[in-house]
Structure 1
Amino acid sequence: MRNARELLLAYTATIADPDATAALFTADGVIELPYVASIGLPPRISGPDEIRAFIVGLLKVVPDFGFDSVEILIDTPDQAFGEYSVERVTVTGRPFSQMYAGRLVAEHGKIKLLRESLDLVRAARAMLPNGVADIPRDR
């Protein structure tokens, strides 16, 4: 049975394979991306099917998405926290450069919760048609 550290490393290693990544999650496992609704992304993705679909959508925007470096900063058998980066190019030719921070909670050898943070301004510049101009100002 995988511990939290092993699961975080597996998640970052398989992110370009939606089926393999989704299989890491419990039936009610969740990816939370606080604040991303402002750039049109769902802030909570629940269950392997939604997680798989989310990753498929991500790969349509950044076809060779993958994490370039992973550093686990805190780990216990049930929780891990790490930072991982990505340096890629979107289908529009814009750079997609991010540093993610993720807290993972493991349950019975699977991911119960993965809460990730990222730089929304950088994400908007890379993914939205008009960059940061498309972020609603009332938020």
Structure 2
Amino acid sequence: MNNARQLLAAYLESIRDPRAAAALFADDGVLELPYLKSLGIDARAQGPEAIEGFIASLLAKVPDFAFKNVYFLIETPEQVFAEYEVEALVPSTGKVYRQMYAGRLVARDGKIALLREALDTVRAADAFEMTRAV
């Protein structure tokens, strides 16, 4: 059985393969970036098919998207909290997307039940040249 740390590490390593990353989630598993709502983006996907589509959409916008510099801060077999970084070109704007993510993963029966990520929405808005919702 995969514990929370192993699942997060596998997810981060496989992000460039949407199908592989999504396969780590339970049938009712959720990937959620709630802070993107301030940018008018509904960044919640439930179930492997929706999660695969979400990741594929991200890679279409940022082809070189990949996580690096993972720091595990809190971990139990069922939950883990870590920080990880991204630095990749956004071709549509010509800007580099530099971001520090904070992620909390909840594992259930060897799969990801929930991965909730936080990020700096100002940096995201700048890299993607988006206006923030007020």
TM over 0.5: yes
Q: TM-score, normalised by structure 2?
A: 0.95
Equivalent residues of 2:40, 2:133 under 8 A apart: no
Q: Which runs of 4+ in 1 moved over 4 A?
A: none
Instruction: Report deviation, 1:40.
Output: 3.5
C-alpha distance in structure 1 between counterparts of 2:35 and 2:85, whole Å: 19
How many residues are paired up? 133
- Percent identity between matched residues is 55
Is 1:89 the counterpart of 2:89? The answer is yes
SS in 2 for 1:2: coil
Deviations 1:93-130, CA, capped at 9 Å, x for gaps: 111000000000000000000010000000011123xx
Equivalent residues of 2:35, 2:119 under 8 A apart: no
Instruction: Name stretches of at least 5 consecutive residues in structure 1 with no aligned partner.
Output: none
Task: State the match for 2:132 in structure 1.
Answer: 135
Task: Please provide the CA RMSD for this pair.
Answer: 1.0
Instruction: Name stretches of at least 5 consecutive residues in structure 2 with no aligned partner.
Output: none
C-alpha distance in structure 2 between counterparts of 1:51 and 1:91, whole Å: 23
- The structure where strand makes up a greater share of residues is 2
C-alpha distance in structure 2 between counterparts of 1:21 and 1:112, whole Å: 13
Question: Which residues of 2 match residues 60-79 of structure 1 at below 5 A?
Answer: 60-79=60-79
Equivalent residues of 2:24, 2:111 under 8 A apart: yes
Q: TM-score, normalised by structure 1?
A: 0.91
